[in-house]
Amino acid sequence: MIRISEQSYNNIKGKDYGNIDFMDYEIRAGILYKHFELFLGYRHMKAEYAEIKGTEMGIKVIF
């Protein structure tokens, strides 16, 4: 799975915070077995004043 998203927020709750741009990039590979997904990937999130990036892994339960 490859996901790229870009979001923009303007004047949150009527207050004048200005514009906030948010970028979120993710690439992930996984294995499905019955109702479980075991995945490993990389994610990079960037907002105007913060940047978070690194590997991610986990188990997703699908009902």
**What is the per-residue pLDDT across 13-49, written as a single tens digit (0 to 9) for each?**
655 556 667 778 888 888 999 999 899 999 888 877 7
Q: Encoding tokens for residue 3? A: 């996901």
Judge whether 27 and 42 are in contact, CB under 8 Å. yes
pLDDT of residue 44: 86
DSSP E strands, 1-63: 2-10, 19-33, 36-46, 51-61
Judge whether 37 and 62 are in contact, CB under 8 Å. yes
Which residue, chain included where needed, has tokens 């993710």?
Answer: 26
pLDDT of residue 48: 73
Average pLDDT over residues 48-61: 89
